[in-house]
Structure 1
Amino acid sequence: MTKVFEAPSTGHVSMGSSEHCLTFASSLGSGGKHSGASHLQVMSTNNSNPSGKREPGHLVKGCVYCTKAQRPGEKTLQCCSVCKTALYCDTKCQKADWPFHKEHCHSKDKRRREIRSAEPDGGKAVHDFDKWISHHNPLFTLVLYRALKLETDPDAFKTKGLFISFKEKENRESYPLHQRYVVSFGYVADLDMVRSVANTSGAGGIADYDRALASDRRIGMLVLMCPPLLCQWQRAQLMTPEELKDAAPIVGGVPEDWVPWLNKAVNENYVTKIKFGKSSGKQ
């Protein structure tokens, strides 16, 4: 079977200084809505064009070009040979999407190599954070719905995005994968601000995201960071609120004050409680 290509949906960037991160956090405070509980400390450090969707972030995996779904337990899609994150249903979709995602794909690969060579641990921190994010990604999808109030304003993703910051636990490797980070704060912000931060990451792919929105695709944007070194941005393929509730009944339990809920959810591994409904993944 021919390997396929993908424009990855996630960009990592090494946040070079605590001053940069402090400026970034301050900009969130002035431009976005703080959605966390008051006792949570704000850290003072730092698919139309489907080509950028990060598959672990979807409750239902699908072809990043035509969005044909792969239901749980199936192995009908093939992944990118370069970034190894996006999926396609066949080589036709692969070739059609390549002009859109090739820059993002190569940028992600280059950026990963740069970070690994620059970090003392050879990029292990990047790898661990990426694995942790991938494990919990369905929870971030649920939080995106709640934070943007997509249940009552289904088009909010066109004007708003989400920032979430995490803190690495001391001696993180002594914990199970799902417990290695805690949630520090979260903000809903104007999409222009979220897009700007994603664009400065150097990971590419913003043009893909813009084309997706222009084509009326339901694509949400999140920036996930772990100061002072790690920051990544993601696109999330959005179901309708009805489809989401069918796929993951737990969505009804995400409160408006979602930051402490998310912190509890990641540490208690709520992602294992997400159940897929029988209609989930149907076209």
Structure 2
Amino acid sequence: MSNSTKVKDFKGQSRVLKVCHWCGKKQDPKQKSFQACGRCKEVIYCSKERQVASWPLHKAPCKASADVKKKIEEGGNPNLTNTIATFKKWHSMHNDALRHAAVCALNLGYKPKAVNENFLFIEITQKPDHQDLPIKRKYAPTGGFTMTLEEVESIFRDANGLAILESFKESNEHMQKKGGVGIVGVLLEAHGVMDLVKIILPTPSATKLNQMADNWGEFWLPRLQAAVEAD
């Protein structure tokens, strides 16, 4: 590995948006920065207590992320590691648009229980002129479709993948107990890597109102393409 290439951390939604991964507390720029998970570096916590509470649900995705990064780095290609880090930051910056796309594609405003058995897959392509663009504009959604839980399980069939899915299900149940629709799974693929993004949904009534206000329906992909350019 070249000493001249600094390897970036994989930053997830929590770290990009500067909110506690467990409780959602917003980081105060005037206060001490929240501490990142020491292993994956993807998420941050407002306190050690919150990190401990989060660990049972974070353990599997944390290990998977750290393993992926280690494997890439051992391959001697820090540029690929940095490219994937940029991709992760890009999709974290478009979290709201991805949430709305998933709600409309899966019709979760009207069928909230569908979140338990369905996912949204989106192919993401790096733009030809990405080097001249800010991170928020480096990628574009170019394809996608809905998937059932069984189809996703057939992809995540190794031990690591099944552990990630089990953690996802537990996180979904946790958020449902708190009154939300749950967590919708969005599979994003770029650079030959698939990232299972967990997006928190509000209450069933709020989710329905959001979909009714702007229902992308079967045209969710072109509407998402427009949304990420307008964000």
TM-score class normalised by the smaller sequence:
0.7 to 0.9
State the partner residue of 1:86. 43
- Say if 1:163 and 1:186, in contact at 8 Å, map to a contact too: yes
* TM-aligned CA deviation for residue 153 of structure 1: 0.9
State the partner residue of 1:239. 202
* TM-aligned CA deviation for residue 157 of structure 1: 0.2
Q: 1:130 to 1:61 in 2, by over 3 A?
A: same
Q: 1:198 to 1:73 in 2, by over 3 A?
A: farther
Equivalent in 72, 88, 95 of residue 52 of structure 2: 95
* TM-aligned CA deviation for residue 252 of structure 1: 2.8
**Code of the aligned partner of 1:265:** A
- Say if 2:118 and 2:148, in contact at 8 Å, map to a contact too: yes
State the partner residue of 2:6. none
State the partner residue of 2:224. 262
**Code of the aligned partner of 2:221:** V
Equivalent in 93, 96, 102 of residue 135 of structure 1: 93
Any idea what SS the aligned residue of 1:132 has? helix
State the partner residue of 2:14. 55
Unaligned 5+ runs, structure 1: 1-9, 11-52, 271-283
**Code of the aligned partner of 1:144:** A
Distance 2:153 2:45 in 1: 26
Q: 1:135 to 1:223 in 2, by over 3 A?
A: same
Equivalent in 185, 208, 211 of residue 221 of structure 1: 185
**Code of the aligned partner of 2:227:** A
Identity among equivalent pairs (%): 22
* TM-aligned CA deviation for residue 258 of structure 1: 0.7
Distance 2:91 2:159 in 1: 17
TM-score by length of 2: 0.74
**Code of the aligned partner of 1:258:** W
**Code of the aligned partner of 2:90:** W
- Say if 1:165 and 1:225, in contact at 8 Å, map to a contact too: yes
Any idea what SS the aligned residue of 1:221 has? strand
- CA deviation profile, 1:206-238 (whole Å, cap 9, x unmatched): 2312333455451211110025x2221122222
* TM-aligned CA deviation for residue 156 of structure 1: 1.2
State the partner residue of 2:147. 189
Distance 2:159 2:188 in 1: 12
- Say if 2:119 and 2:147, in contact at 8 Å, map to a contact too: yes
Distance 2:15 2:100 in 1: 13
State the partner residue of 1:230. 193
Q: 1:230 to 1:253 in 2, by over 3 A?
A: same
Equivalent in 51, 59, 65 of residue 108 of structure 1: 65
**Code of the aligned partner of 1:70:** K
- Say if 1:80 and 1:86, in contact at 8 Å, map to a contact too: yes
Any idea what SS the aligned residue of 2:112 has? coil
Equivalent in 121, 128, 133 of residue 170 of structure 1: 128
Matched residues, number: 211
State the partner residue of 1:70. 25
Q: 1:237 to 1:77 in 2, by over 3 A?
A: farther
Q: Relative to structure 2, which stretch is displaced further, 182-191 or 249-258?
A: 249-258
**Code of the aligned partner of 2:25:** Q
Q: 1:194 to 1:119 in 2, by over 3 A?
A: farther
* TM-aligned CA deviation for residue 180 of structure 1: 1.6
Any idea what SS the aligned residue of 2:42 has? coil
1:253 aligns with 2:211: no
Q: 1:133 to 1:210 in 2, by over 3 A?
A: same
Q: Higher relative contact order by CA 8 Å / sep ≥ 6: 1 or 2?
A: 1
State the partner residue of 2:5. none
